[in-house]
Chains A and B, each alone.
Chain A
Amino acid sequence: MGFPDRIERTLELAHPPAKVWAALTTDEGLAAWFGNEATIDLRPGGSARMTWTSEGFTAEMRVERVEEPRVFGFTWPVYGLPDEDPRRTYVEFTLEPSGPGTRLTVVESGFAQLPEDVYRKAFDGNTDGWAKELGELADYLDAA
């Protein structure tokens, strides 16, 4: 059994899709349950930002899919990786009418992805990094 590449949850909500959609895709909605503060530019390619004030943590998201009121998707950084790390996971909410309510599915995927450079570095005897950078600094100072 390997590590999970995706996390999936489904829940039944006793509220119509339009109301669930508003909770997922508006500043006020997101701030009410997800982060403490939220701003969202709701269009593919738009940016969104959520802040968890008690943790002192901010997530920069990029809106990817907006198909009201059925599909909302965004990417965000992988929690625990440095800010400058290019890896991101994709989160997609799917809303299906279910009687008077909504069946909501959230899938977060991409935990096992690796961009080519990280993949390569993990295998190769790559000795770049600080040694090289400090060497360049020394060269620069010597030349100055």
Chain B
Amino acid sequence: MPRDIEAIAEQVFAALADPTRRAILATLASEGPATATDLAGRLPITRQAIAKHLALLAEAGLVTAEPGERRRVRYRLRSAPMQVAQQFLAALARDWDSPLGALKDHLDRSTH
């Protein structure tokens, strides 16, 4: 696998490992683009702390900054890196052992 794909997934998992960043991403996912001030109003975290995490998330490509109203910077979730990470999770979530066990049982039970 190309190394850079793994680097993308790593950034997603690192971002999700922190509860504050998880809350920021979850809020952007469920409620749409928001400014640092908006997020500070919705989450029990200071605006300064949120701004710091947003800068880090933007650096990792997980959110993107765009011009908002009244010349405020607004942040939007970027779903593409999440889709990369999701595919890796799919490999870990795939269970072949149970169906193959069921296949074995099925063959042993049937008579022909």
Contact = CB atoms under 8 A, between A and B. Distances in A.
Interface string A67-86: 00000000000111100010
Interface in A3-54: 3-5, 7, 9, 11, 13-15, 19-20, 23, 29, 32-34
B17 interface: no
Contacts of A32: 106, 110
Interface in B3-18: 4-6, 8-9
A13 B32 CA distance: 53
Contacts of B61: 122-123, 125
Given A2-B6, A5-B1, A126 B78 contact: yes
B84 A23 contact: no
Contacts of A131: 33, 66, 76
Interface string B10-31: 0000000000000000000000
Taking residues whose C-beta sits less than 8 angstroms from the other chain, chain B's interface range is 35 or more
A36 B80 CA distance: 34
Contact of B93 (A15, A33, A34, A79): A79
Contacts of B84: 114, 118, 122
Interface in B68-102: 76, 78-81, 83-84, 86-94, 96-97, 99-100, 102
Contacts of B80: 118, 121-122, 126
Interface of B: 1, 4-6, 8-9, 32-33, 61, 64, 66, 76, 78-81, 83-84, 86-94, 96-97, 99-100, 102-108, 110, 112
